[in-house]
Amino acid sequence: MAIIDRREFLKVSAGAASAVAVGGLAGCATTPNAASAGGARPKVVVVGAGFGGATFARYLKMWYPKAEVTVIEPNDKFVSCPFSNTVLAGINKMDDITMPYDNIKKVVDNFVKDTVTAIDSGKKTVTTKGGKTFAYDKLVLAGGVELMFDKVEGYNAEAQKTIMHAWKAGPQTATLRKQLEEMPDGGTFVMSVPMAPYRCPPGPYERACQVAHYFKQAKPKSKIIILDGNPDIASKKGLFLAAWKKHYGYDTPNSMIEYRANNMPRAVDPKKMMVGTEFDDVKGDVINVVPPMRAAEITGMAGVRDGNNGTWCTIDYRTFESKVVPNVHVLGDSALTNFPKSGSVANNTGKMCAYAISEMFSGRAVDPAPVVTNTCYSASSDSTAFHVATVFRWNEEKQSMLPEKGANGVSKEESELEFAYMEAWAKNVWADTLGL
């Protein structure tokens, strides 16, 4: 993949739907980092190598090779959350969404397979479970989300062996697929949608489509009950309803999908295979409860989980630096922003943060007019999909990123062409994130 000069990157905007959506750059006038003033190599520690962290590390080394970049990641391989619902449908396998970190390991100075256990933002150090300590000039936290199981009564460690969330793609995705395969025809799949904000707003509704597609092929007598904690479908409502009606008989006596709004799970009972809401107890043969979520645990260690009653991290949109702890930058799902919590946004903001920090290390002011793009596809069957695309632009008066009027788009309807675009988008964003 060709190296893009950071100044040229300012000129790049969102391309064709099959290409990776590349955001504009963010930043504000700032003093150069002290580490670069004396000619020393500035140390940057990145925690998490998902769409945000891996992209950041790769682009920072492109644009400021002098930086000493250490990536700390507990997993052996990258597993994509986007496209993981297609595994539940049997369209793809886990191998299709699992990729090596080989190219990231070649680019960065240190790639450490370990788990962070402590962050001292005063001393500017990160300590791992393996007993290693790393000093930093800049710390980039890209840990995604933390699932709050304690908010659902009975969802303890034992219950988690039976009831999958599968909201972090990996072994849970494979286990949930196996549970669906073993479910008898005529069985009931009970799934939940957490209250917003949560990772991937359209994800649960796409999951319903994909599981319904599998049932239609293999278990036509089966049923899906969606327990949504929100008052209505949180994303792409019209498109999902149209797909449910067209493919799965929604709103007819033979509907495979039953949707219940304002039905947040309050308790689970894995022995009785029951989900309790404020209204009733719902029994299922397979239960998939996604609990409420907040910024990743590592953000709590760093003391940057300060927004929305301590659940998300407030940031300066122009540098992605925490508003409460200096030299700590937060990417992707953990940040409290106007952006959807998506792989596309994480990938884009990873580049933007890399640009901002490279400029700071170089002693230059960063771009004062940031733009962020988001492109999100949802598969409605094994061959059709639809999308939403949004451009966010910095508004100086409101000190926030607002959707740009006239620059946003949503599909009129599902199509096979959009499914092809979706596949191309996934391949491109994986390549861009991991240097494939």
Query: What region does 48 belong to: left with phi over 0, alpha with psi -120 to 50, or beta?
Result: left
171 three-class SS: helix
Does residue 106 fall inside a structural domain?
no
Of the residues 266, 288, 310, the one at which a domain ends: 288
157 and 64 housed in the same domain: no
Scanning the structure block, which residue is given the tokens 């994909």? 210
Count, in order, helices (H) and strands (E) of the chain.
11, 25
pLDDT above 80 (res 16): no
pLDDT band, very low/low/confident/very high, at 24 (cuts 50, 70, 90): very low
**Packing angle of the helix pair 416-434, 51-63 (nearest 10 deg):** 50
Number of domains in the chain: 2
Predicted local distance difference test score (pLDDT) of residue 112: 97
CA dihedral sign, ordered 272, 212, 253, 245: positive
Instruction: Name the amino acid, one letter, at 138.
Output: K
Tens of pLDDT, residue by residue over 306-361, are 988 999 999 999 899 999 999 999 999 999 998 999 999 999 999 999 999 999 99
Which phi and psi angles does 333 have, rounded to 5°? Answer: -65, -25
User: What percent of the chain stands above pLDDT 70?
Assistant: 91
pLDDT above 50 (res 8): no
Does residue 42 fall inside a structural domain?
yes
Question: What is this structure's pTM?
Answer: 0.89
At residue 86's C-alpha, the angle toward residues 85 and 91, to 5°, is 160
In the DSSP assignment, the letter for residue 333 is: G
371 and 322 housed in the same domain: yes
277 and 298 housed in the same domain: no
Of the residues 288, 303, 328, the one at which a domain ends: 288
318 and 188 housed in the same domain: no
Predicted local distance difference test score (pLDDT) of residue 367: 86
129 and 173 housed in the same domain: no
pLDDT above 50 (res 52): yes
What tokens appear for 263 in the block? 């039905």
14 and 138 housed in the same domain: yes
> What span, in angstroms and rounded, lies between the C-alpha atoms of 115 and 298?
10
Of the residues 288, 312, 328, the one at which a domain ends: 288
Predicted local distance difference test score (pLDDT) of residue 32: 42
> What span, in angstroms and rounded, lies between the C-alpha atoms of 235 and 197?
11
254 and 300 housed in the same domain: no
Predicted local distance difference test score (pLDDT) of residue 249: 96
275 and 319 housed in the same domain: no
Which one is predicted more confidently, 204 or 10?
204
Predicted local distance difference test score (pLDDT) of residue 25: 36
205 and 219 housed in the same domain: yes
Looking at every residue in the chain, the average pLDDT score rounds to 90
- b/e 260-288 (16+ beta carbons within 10 angstroms → b): eeebbbbebbbeebbbbbeeeebebbbbb
What tokens appear for 227 in the block? 């327990």
Does residue 88 fall inside a structural domain?
no
Q: What is the mean predicted confidence (pLDDT) over 410-429?
A: 96
DSSP 297-327: HHHHHHT---BTTTTBB-EETTTTEESSSTT
Determine contact, residues 327/137, Cβ cutoff 8 Å: yes
Does residue 387 fall inside a structural domain?
yes
pLDDT above 50 (res 37): no
343 and 241 housed in the same domain: no
Q: Give the H or E element holding residue 62.
A: helix 51-63
Which one is predicted more confidently, 25 or 385?
385
317 and 429 housed in the same domain: yes
> What span, in angstroms and rounded, lies between the C-alpha atoms of 354 and 55?
8
- Domain with residue 24: its CATH number is 3.50.50.60
Tens of pLDDT, residue by residue over 109-131, are 999 999 999 999 999 999 999 99
Determine contact, residues 47/298, Cβ cutoff 8 Å: yes
Q: Nearest Cα to 85, choosing from 239, 202, 246? A: 202
Predicted local distance difference test score (pLDDT) of residue 11: 40
pLDDT band, very low/low/confident/very high, at 35 (cuts 50, 70, 90): very low
What tokens appear for 371 in the block? 């733009």
Predicted local distance difference test score (pLDDT) of residue 223: 97
CB count, 10 Å around CB of 314? 17
Predicted local distance difference test score (pLDDT) of residue 39: 66
DSSP alpha helix (H) spans, 96-202: 102-107, 171-182
Q: What is the mean predicted confidence (pLDDT) over 221-239?
A: 96
Range of the domain at 355: 6-74+114-147+293-434
271 and 312 housed in the same domain: no
